[in-house]
Chains A and B, each alone.
Chain A
Amino acid sequence: MAVLTEEQTMLRDMAAEWVPDRAPVTAFRRVAHEKLGHDPELWSEIAGTMGWAGILVPEEHGGSDFGYLSMGLVLEEMGRTLVASPLIATGVLGVSALRLGGNAEQQAAWLPRIATGEAIVAFACDEDGRHDPANVKLTAKRDGDGFRLDGVKAPVSEGVSADLLIVAARDEAGEIVLLLVPGDAAGVTRTRLDRIDGREAALIRFDGVIVGADAALTGGAALLDRVLDRGRAGLAAEMLGSATQAFDTTVDYLKTRVQFGQLIGSFQALQHRAVAMQGELLMTRSAVEAALAALDEDRDDAPMLVSLAKAIAGDTLRLCSREMVQMHGGIGMTEEHDAGLYYKRSATADATGGNGAFHRERYARLAGY
């Protein structure tokens, strides 16, 4: 755990108390089984009561402006119980896009509503089933003062319930532009994707969708990259929480399960694998905290640290969830046990915002390899 300020310690403690109490894994199971995307009541508590949707929102727009490390602390706790919420899409990606690329009017229009939880945002970048921000094909043709959008985005996290879509498009000059598109704009068709982890993702078609000149954010491809990095770091924090919980649950099981007349945790073969997981978790935590801190300080090495964090968080969550299934044996394969939920989540979280291969390649280029 990073050395925290008093404010951050309070925030973390509140999250550590609220999450298992109000949003345990059983709450996630209901959301997943009933294909709710998220539980609106929980979201109103997350945003309204707890104020977490506003952690990155400036104070003049109703937020607390606590920064990315603080947001990471909350996301980590939420990751522990796999809370399905639009917090990353809205509170991290949405707020970051508006803060970094939005003008005063755009910010005034959306940030206050985001801070209260009234508006849910989805960030639509991916198109071809593989995260690749350089490969945006959705077209934004000039149409009077505004744009006409045609194309498909999938998968879009929280894309079914979003009030605002922030869409990465390519203009006639071939440049990337980020556009604010109301979720109910004419020509937008949203289809829920049924995915293994039970979370909300959508396939969204844009058929001649018209938006005004005031829809465009400023910053192009560089803005897209900066916004994505903030979302990736947030997701890495959440993955750290999920991996930590998978590990804790597994170690507890090693201390209670008896086989061959002994606690299975006394077997060296399992002990050493448990310690190996602990080592990976230590390094993941360091990388995640370093990435979030670099974003707070807006440092030049933030992109490298984010890629490090996302890659290692993906590897570690895969390891810990795989070992969770394996060390629980048959019970770990059952729907009734939580192990499978963490295992499924490991695959979707890893793929979202760039998997390990994507981020190792990105790191390589940034480092000069």
Chain B
Amino acid sequence: MSEAFRAEARAWLEANFPPSLAFKNPVPYQNDAPYAEGDPDWIVWRDRMAEKGWGAPGWPKMYGGGELDHEQTKILTQEMRRIGAFNPMKMTGYTMLGPTLLEFGTEEQKAQHLPGVAKGVTRWCQGFSEPGAGSDLASLQTKCVDMGDHYLVEGQKIWTSGANHADWCFALVRTDTSSKQGGISFLLIDMKSEGVETRPITLISGSTHFCEMFLNAVKVPKENLVGEINKGWGIAKRLLQFERDSLSEGRGEGVPLLPLAQERVGTDAEGRIADSDLRTRLVAHAMRAQAYNLTMGRIAAEGKAGQRNDALVPVLKNLGSDVAQVRADLIMEILGEQGLGWSGEGYSDVELDASHQWLHARAFSIYGGSFEIQNNIAAKVLLGLPSAPAPGR
């Protein structure tokens, strides 16, 4: 049964995935709408996947999904990875908002928002972090006042990925100042609303997908509240689990290391990578990457058997970011000075991608809750270690 699906998926992918996208770094496609939509092959790929329902493989068909079961979804992922394909819908809306709305949204909210996400035509951004509330997310201050027939939102967000290209934003807003976590609500904001202003922040990688977002007396219809007023923190925590989940998977993408090293570094008489120090570190990385992928597979199999343990997610996120960062370092090392290009003449796509990816990779251990925050969460929730006393006590 699953082998039949594998054959079906393989045949369909081979017939429909544009080879020009193979082993491309999916990050710019996910975060930069003009970049993605400027690539005609990406548009073709997105639309074919949308029609097939495989961009949101596990979702109900009525919301544009494929209604695949867990096993089939896993097989689809494996088959995509085999040919270097990526899911064009795997953006913020799909990985974070989608599962959250499926769990907490009203029928109207699901019907309004999910199909656009499953088809890859609506882009979402996440309005969580604020200048004073990064790792300490619950200290956020963006004000939301009940005006009777609508809400009025006033404040500033930061590190908002893709806000400058987003159609919608799911935001955490403060509806009660008397309680830190109990005064937060979860709101869907149309980015075309009057008073929404975004400003890109240029990063060391040259990418501009992070933005500042200013909310100046923005009117939001009341039906855009998800869940109950002041109950947004619980929804946010669940959403952050989905985020860590998505951030801890799919680290295998990108150009395969071994053939690249054999080509660029050369091999000795016995066929071994000529630089023995580099070879040693490449092998150590390959082993950790395999152990990590086996772990993701094991956790998924256990989850399917009803032994899901969400408390592991922060640990997995950190392991995944470490593996991916080491990988980015190693590619740079394999390429040598050809990995130092920023743009233009003299450098291949693979080489330019490597330098930008290397710079971008530092974000893996910062976004979605920093490495340290994940460790704090795991120490408390997974290991049951005591909290540190509050400062000044």
Residues of chain A at the chain B interface (Cβ within 8 Å): 1-3, 251, 254-255, 262-263, 265-268, 271-272, 274-276, 278-279, 282-287, 289-290, 308, 311-312, 360-361, 363-365, 367-369
| Distance of A311 Cα from B283 Cα, bound (Å) | 12
Chain B nearest CB, measured from A165 CB (Å): 33
A4 and chain B: residue at smallest CB distance = B305
Pick from B258, B286, B294, B388: contact of A268, CB below 8 A.
B388
- B260 lies within 8 A of chain A by Cβ: no
Instruction: State whether B286 touches A369 (Cβ < 8 A).
Output: yes
User: Contacts A271-B379, A278-B315, A308-B291 known; A263 to B386 CB distance under 8 Å?
Assistant: yes
Does A274 lie within 8 Å of B385, measured CB to CB?
A: yes
Residue pair B302, A369 in contact (C-beta under 8 Å) = no
Task: From the candidates A267, A275, A364, name the one contacting B378 in the complex (CB within 8 A).
Answer: A275
Residue B70, interface by CB 8 Å: no
CA distance A290 to B318 in the complex (A): 22
B312 cross-chain contacts in A, Cβ below 8 A: 282
A312 and B319 in contact (CB under 8 A), knowing A272-B375, A364-B279? no
B residues contacting the other copy or chain, number (CB 8 A): 45
Of A2, A3, A251, A308, the residue contacting B287 (CB under 8 A) is A308
For residue B270, which residue of chain A has the nearest CB?
A: A365
Complex: how many Å from CA A282 to CA B248? 14
* Neighbouring A residues of B315 by C-beta, 8 Å: 275, 278-279, 282
- The winner among B286, B304, B374 for most chain A CB atoms within 10 A is B286
Known: A287-B294, A363-B283, A367-B286. A279 touches B387 (CB 8 A): no
Binary interface encoding of chain B residues 235-269 relative to chain A, with 1 for a CB under 8 A from any of its CBs, else 0:
00000000000000000000000100100000000
Q: Which residues of B contact A284 (CB under 8 A)?
A: 291
User: Among B258, B271, B298, B388, which residue has the most Cβ atoms of chain A within 10 A?
Assistant: B298
Q: Which of A274, A282, A283 contacts B383 (CB 8 A)?
A: A274
Q: Which residues of A contact B386 (CB under 8 A)?
A: 255, 262-263, 265-266
- The complex places the Cα of A37 from the Cα of B136 at a distance, in Å, of 55
> Chain B interface (Cβ within 8 Å of chain A)?
258, 261, 271-273, 279-280, 282-284, 286-288, 290-292, 294-295, 297-298, 301-302, 304-305, 307, 312, 314-316, 318-319, 372, 374-376, 378-379, 382-389
Chain A residues, Cβ within 8 Å of B279 = 364, 369
Partner of B295, one of A263, A283, A367: A283
Complex CA gap A251/B379 in Å reads 10
CB-based contact B302/A3 at 8 Å: yes
Per a CB cutoff under 8 Å, which of A254, A279, A363 touches B318? A279
Question: Chain A residues with Cβ under 8 A from B382's Cβ?
Answer: 275, 278
A301 to B138, CA, bound (A): 47
> Do B387 and A266 have beta carbons less than 8 Å apart?
yes
Contacts of A290 in B (CB 8 A): 294, 298
Instruction: For the complex, give the distance between the alpha carbons of A363 and B273 in Å.
Output: 14
- Top 3 A-B pairs ranked by shortest CB distance? A271-B379, A286-B294, A283-B291
Return 21 A-B CB contacts under 8 Å, by A number.
A1-B302, A2-B301, A3-B307, A265-B385, A266-B385, A271-B379, A271-B383, A274-B383, A275-B378, A279-B316, A282-B312, A283-B291, A283-B319, A286-B291, A312-B287, A312-B291, A360-B280, A367-B283, A368-B258, A368-B271, A369-B283
